């Protein structure tokens, strides 16, 4: 394999890796605020792709408006998921939460199927134009959009959590909910916001990737698994590790396509997840604290 091919795989790996990282961050946001793993996380990504496709393709909205509206609308869905389902069983067991978010997932997926049918939807890349050639590698413009937006959003989230008052309040909840509550932080509000943010992140991931891969009503769960894998690979509960995990997963998938038919690539990523969790449940980057965390989950 020469340098051009290597670059090609690196870029396609980073592109999907950025998507997984965004989904993984979405998991982390909600998990940090509530200890809930939202099994409907992938449906936010699917909704993002489908809503944007409809707004652009059928309603002929300008792209920026369609994208912003999509992200806002899915954010609202996130709030509804919290309000209508998850917050009702906040004190429930882990299994109750798994079931209820699976129920939400099935509902959203069915609604999408009834609304747009089983066929894949898509819209044109953000900017038209022929693919770039960089050192012999062919790079789709949309891939650059994915990587670039992903990087900007992740950096923005980092700033949000370290600099803004709201972000720091959310972080305080993540570290110790009771202490945060005693400090006068409105924990309920933080939880709601984390659902909205998480859904919006998912929608953004869906919007970014749809021009490259299409959007279908049933793609959500696989994406959720990959996003979870991204978070778990790095070690749960830390945003930075979701990014590392996501990119690693993307690169592994891209590399797997070299040695086996592309149909297997989902399996390769999941096999890596299973092996890592079985060998080291705290994730590759996790220390002892996370290990305890995993066992308690």
Partner 1 sequence: MQRSLVALLMLAWLILPGLLGSNSTLSLLVFAAINLVQVIGLSLLFGFAGQISLGQAGFYGIGAYVSSLLATRLGVPPALGIIAAALAPAFLAYLIGRPILRLRGYYLAMVTAGTGLILHTVFVEWGGLTGGYSGVAGIPPIAVGSFAFDTPRSMFYLTTGFAILILFLAHRMVKSSYGRAMRTTRESEAAARSVGIDVSRLKTEVFAVSAGLSGIAGALYAHYIGYISPETFTIDTSINLLLALVIGGVGSLWGGAIGAVLLTFLPEWLHQLQNAYGIVFGALVIVLLTIEPDGIVGIVKRLAETWRRRGNQKLDERTV
Minimum Å gap between C-beta 233 and partner 1 is 12
Binding to partner 1 (CB under 8 A): which residues in 114-143? Answer: 114
Cα dihedral 169, 175, 181, 186 in deg (nearest 10): 30
Comparing CB distances to partner 1, the nearer of 65 and 111 is: 111
| Residue 94 vs 132, nearer CB to partner 1 | 94
Closest by CA to 145, choosing from 122, 123, 125, 119, is 125
Give the CA-trace dihedral at 266, 272, 278, 282, to 10 degrees.
Answer: -110
Q: Are 231 and 245 in contact (CB under 8 A)?
A: yes
Q: Does 90 bind partner 1 (CB under 8 A)?
A: no
Contact assessment for residue 37 and residue 98, using Cβ atoms and an 8 Å cutoff: yes
Q: Other C-beta atoms within 10 Å of 189: how many?
A: 13
Chosen residue from 8, 14, 30, 39 binding partner 1 by CB under 8 A: 39
CA distance 233 to 100: 25
The helix (run of H) or strand (run of E) holding residue 132 is strand 132-134
Q: Using CB under 8 A, which residues numbered 201 to 230 contact partner 1? A: 218, 221-222, 225, 228-229
Instruction: Provide the sign of the torsion angle of the four alpha carbons 149, 244, 24, 197, taken in this order.
Output: negative
The one among 11, 19, 23, 37 contacting partner 1 by CB under 8 A: 37
Least distance from partner 1 to the Cβ atom of residue 254, Å:
17
Q: Does 284 bind partner 1 (CB under 8 A)?
A: no
By the rule CB under 8 A, 73 interacts with partner 1:
no
> Does 20 sit near partner 1 (CB under 8 A)?
no
Which residues of this chain interact with partner 1, rule CB under 8 A? Answer: 37, 39, 84-85, 88-89, 92, 94-96, 98-100, 102-107, 109-111, 113-114, 218, 221-222, 225, 228-229, 232, 261, 263-264, 266-267, 270-271, 273-274, 277-278, 281, 294-295, 297
């Amino acid at each position: 394999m020469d340098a051009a091919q290597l670059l090609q795989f690196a870029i396609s790996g980073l592109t999907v890796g950025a998507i997984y990282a965004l989904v993984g961050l979405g998991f982390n946001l909600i998990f940090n605020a509530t200890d809930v793993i939202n099994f409907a996380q992938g449906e936010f990504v699917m909704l993002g792709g489908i809503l944007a496709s409809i707004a652009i393709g059928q309603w002929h909205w300008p792209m920026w408006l369609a994208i912003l509206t999509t992200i806002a609308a899915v954010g609202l869905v996130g709030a509804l998921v919290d309000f209508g389902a998850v917050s009702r069983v906040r004190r429930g067991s882990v299994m109750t939460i798994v079931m209820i978010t699976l129920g939400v997932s099935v509902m959203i997926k069915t609604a999408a199927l009834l609304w747009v049918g089983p066929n894949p939807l898509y819209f044109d890349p953000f900017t038209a134009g022929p693919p770039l050639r960089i050192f012999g590698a062919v790079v789709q413009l949309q891939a650059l959009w994915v990587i670039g937006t992903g990087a900007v959003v992740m950096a923005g989230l980092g700033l949000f959590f370290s600099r803004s008052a709201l972000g720091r309040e959310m972080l305080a909840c993540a570290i110790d909910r009771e202490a945060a509550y005693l400090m006068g932080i409105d924990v309920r509000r933080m939880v709601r916001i984390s659902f909205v943010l998480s859904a919006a992140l998912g929608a953004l991931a869906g919007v970014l990737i749809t021009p490259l891969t299409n959007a279908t009503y049933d793609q959500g769960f696989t994406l959720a698994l990959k996003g979870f894998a991204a978070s778990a690979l790095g070690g749960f509960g830390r945003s930075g590790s979701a990014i590392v995990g996501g990119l690693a997963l993307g690169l592994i998938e891209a590399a797997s396509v070299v040695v086996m038919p592309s149909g297997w690539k989902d399996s390769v990523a999941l096999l890596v997840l299973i092996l890592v969790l079985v060998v080291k449940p705290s994730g590759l980057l996790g220390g002892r604290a996370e290990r305890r965390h995993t066992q308690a989950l």
